[in-house]
Chain A
Amino acid sequence: MMEVCNCIEPQWPADELLMKYQYISDFFIAVAYFSIPLELIYFVKKSAVFPYRWVLVQFGAFIVLCGATHLINLWTFTTHSRTVALVMTTAKVLTAVVSCATALMLVHIIPDLLSVKTRELFLKNKAAELDREMGLIRTQEETGRHVRMLTHEIRSTLDRHTILKTTLVELGRTLALEECALWMPTRTGLELQLSYTLRQQHPVEYTVPIQLPVINQVFGTSRAVKISPNSPVARLRPVSGKYLLGEVVAVRVPLLHLSNFQINDWPELSTKRYALMVLMLPSDSARQWHVHELELVEVVADQVAVALSHAAILEESMRARDLLMEQNVALDIARREAETAIRARNDFLAVMNHEMRTPMHAIIALSSLLQETELTPEQRLMVETVLKSSSLLATLMNDVLDLSRLEDGSLQLELGTFNLHTLFREVLNLIKPIAVVKKLPITLNLAPDLPEFVVGDEKRLMQIILNIVGNAVKFSKQGSISVTALVTKSDNRAPPDFFVVPTGSHFYLRVKVKDLGAGINPQDIPKLFTKFAQTQSLATRSSGGSGLGLAISKRFVNLMEGNIWIESEGVGKGCTAIFDVKLGISNESKQSGIPKVPANPQHVNFAGLKVLVMDENGVSRMVTKGLLVHLGCEVATVSSSEECLRVVSHEHRVVFMDVCTPGVENYQIALRIHEKFTKRHQRPLLVALTGNTDKSTKERCMSFGLDGVLLKPVSLDNMRNVLSDLLEHRVLYEAM
């Protein structure tokens, strides 16, 4: 319907073209309006999650109605019926309602939708960040792995060069470096020399002074330091213009020496030498040194330092071990040589001694034989002196061999049981000839509590006493010599550093030899015991001697766990030699000179042994009786042969008959006794006591059936020995 309007513009008649365009536009709008919800529904159905369905429905309704409106509008261009107008109106009303509702709803919804968008953005950022971090961690883990592997490689070898080479190689690989170099300090410590590089096979001998500021900077800190690629240490290849040099990092590598390690004191930083490790990133890569890479480099540098120090220590110890082995070998050779030398010397000495002893033995043997022949008393004395002197000389010869064996420590004491009292007397008997000639009386005092049978080295003890007493005789021109032997107790005066502890079955024998002879200057006393040292003045030097005696004696005394010293008040005041030795106390009273256990024990002990003594001389008879009584025998005496025959019985084990008186009758008694006792075991043993022991006497005795001959006067020891030998062997012709 058209109405008249009051517009300014003239009324416009309905144009056909415009109408047409409006018609088409409405149509398309309607189509679009219908298709949009369809699209929405389609895509919403497609997506799983869409929280605002209700809104969608509303929106859809709104759009549908809008479309419907526009659609219906199509019919209004031409005249239309009232129904159409009604529908149109309804549609429009509905549309209005829905659109208002939608508008109202959208007020609530749009902020929500917007915030979703922001959250999405936020999450996207976060995801990107996490990705980045993830990448970082992975990188770090990988470098960590590389460090471990590198460390393993470095530490798996103890060779210095391998360590350094491996370090460079691995670092190069891990960090993808272009170049890696190691500068070591020279011997002088004033320069750094290029020692190892990664890429260059044979690095040029290239040195830089150590005092460069860049080097000081790097050495000053334990961190890896970025340095300029143009610094002298980093310029390893000739620089060409077109390269943009990659970043360079340098780190110090401490070189630890063995001397840096004290036991409780870790090396101080100030005194260290460093090497310089330079790492270059590839040029033109625009890569930069990351923190974690720097850390990796620092760790590696430390590990290298440790590995190098280990290698150094190992080198030192291997060198020391080699040195020791060499020394061992040398020592072994030296020892073997020394042993050979000692053996050679001992052999030589033994041979020499043998050569010396053979003539000596000849002298002794022939003198003994001479002794057996008929001699005047002077001749006998001379022969005895010869014998005793040659025995002495034989002993002295043993000294030389002994001394050398003593010094090796190869000498050992030969322990045995012997009679101490006898030993002293024998020594005195040996010295007697010389003392008699020099008119020096020697007295021997044996303490009453001195044990008779002791355990020790008889031969060596005799040597010691002989030496000391011999010295006393040698160096005395006048006066007397006294030899005292006693058991020393712990409170006796002894040198302050020597304590005597008598133990159980041992005791300490102290022997003092005092002479009134030349004396010794107290200052010379310490020298006395040194071998070959002589301290006498020229006046007394004529006494001779090799100076070995005291040295040997001292060694023997020491072997016997004792001590020896000399006291003298000065020259001309005589001197006293004192020594203590440890001896064992023998339990059984074994007779000296009998090496084997007697077959019949009763022979050792003569208690109750019945014997008969026949002697015309009353004094002599009494003496012999006293002798035998002292030995424990039961003695009967007769003064004539007839009486002897009368008294003698099978109870008498031995008959001693004096045959001194000239004449043959004495020997008859022997024959008569043989006749009386036909059975051998009943007959007593017959021993002749005679004043001379020449061959004819012996022969005569033997021919008359005597079992033994004894030279008068008989000493106690002689009688004892003779009796025991006799009773054991039932014959004795050696006791002279």
Chain B
Amino acid sequence: MKIWTSEHVFDHPWETVTTAAMQKYANPMKPSVVGVDVLHRPVDPSGKLHSHRLLSTEWGLPSIAKSLIGAERTKTYAQEHSVVDPVRKAMELRSTNISFTYMVSVDERLTYKPHPQDPEKTVLTQEAVITVKGVNLRSSLEGLMASTVSSKARKGREAVEWGIRKLSAEVEALAASARGSIRAPVAAE
């Protein structure tokens, strides 16, 4: 069993980071995630939004390997459950693999909360527990996986930053277009 943890501060308020994180998988930093679907998305009686998502990841094998193994079997699946509390301003996310559970279990937890000292910033806390089952090389495999998780986590954070920039650009474009349409009638006079 290997535990990896990390903390990161985004220089943006919690609402911005959470909105970007909800859209996270449409981003260029994680090309191996090839499919994401929401399977269940209730608002619970206390007003928190739950999202249950299914993620499919492509191994990135060369096409000859895929044609030998079969295209569907080169995909691995993970499930993700997130909870957003708009009153307490907390987003918690937990994802676990569904494929290969007989070999390995990867359990990742993420929490996004406003920075306790600066409401214009957001703190992301990440934790991953990795367990490789029944293998003698257990601790070195788990170590290898932990460094992969760490690198993916960094890319995940970059993905959220990318999402924030994309959202800002869209907002700016809308604002510029609104300014343009307000000015036009004045110019016509």
The finding on whether chains A and B are genuine partners in a shared complex, rather than unrelated, reads no
Chain B residues within 8 Å of A, Cβ to Cβ: none
